[in-house]
Structure 1
């Protein structure tokens, strides 16, 4: 691939531009196929290319120049060893330390802890808790047309 000439591109545009040959010449195959099947985008695109050809040639030549420049970049990578010291010794009989962020371990047989903000669990067989504002079981409940939980049920 070599640099392209504006004069050659204009000649291709003049004689074969309706078929998009000048666009294929400048390595623009998508628009070349579009021109091929639409007769230069119905003559409008072919006519607009009068102004666009110098810029298209300049873009192609700039890409060609950047592809042919060989630059060598030397990158020096420094690898430093990471020393990990021996873990600190725990006193004899002390439980092992948990990693940072790990939940604490429960002693064997202890009930699991509730998450923060969770209501406490009721023991097995206990009656369910009463809703807020309800009288305790066995308390006096007035008779009459009162809304639940005080009225007849």
Structure 2
């Protein structure tokens, strides 16, 4: 380590981001997981833009499963931010 203290992120704020902006991956970006947050943004946007032609569900269902799993991962993501 270089002596720099990595600050923990607030679990409450992360859960609020997950609840209100989860399909945009904001909770992952907040905890330092920018790459996976961008993937969630892409899945959410593509999914909602293409639901009218039924392709969107291919993107949204995996995203929703991922968001459900994130409920349990958020505390560890906040304790160990990147």
User: If the length of structure 1 is used for normalisation, what is the TM-score?
Assistant: 0.37
Whether 1:30 aligns to 2:35 is yes
Whether 1:17 aligns to 2:2 is no
Displacement after TM superposition at 1:51 (Å): 0.4
> What is the DSSP-based 3-state SS (H/G/I as helix, E as strand, rest coil) of the residue aligned with 1:24?
helix
RMSD (Å) for aligned C-alpha atoms: 1.9
1:52-63 matches, cutoff 5 A: 52-60=73-81
Higher relative contact order at CA 8 Å, sep ≥6: structure 1 or structure 2? Answer: 2
Number of residue pairs matched?
A: 61
User: 4+ residue stretches of structure 1 with deviation over 3 A?
Assistant: none
Residues in 2 aligned to 1:19 and 1:46: alpha-carbon distance in whole angstroms: 10
Structure whose residues are more often helix by fraction: 2
Structure exhibiting the larger radius of gyration computed from Cα positions: 1
Instruction: Flag structure 1 segments of 5+ consecutive residues without an equivalent.
Output: 64-153
Q: Which residue of 1 aligns with 2:11?
A: 6
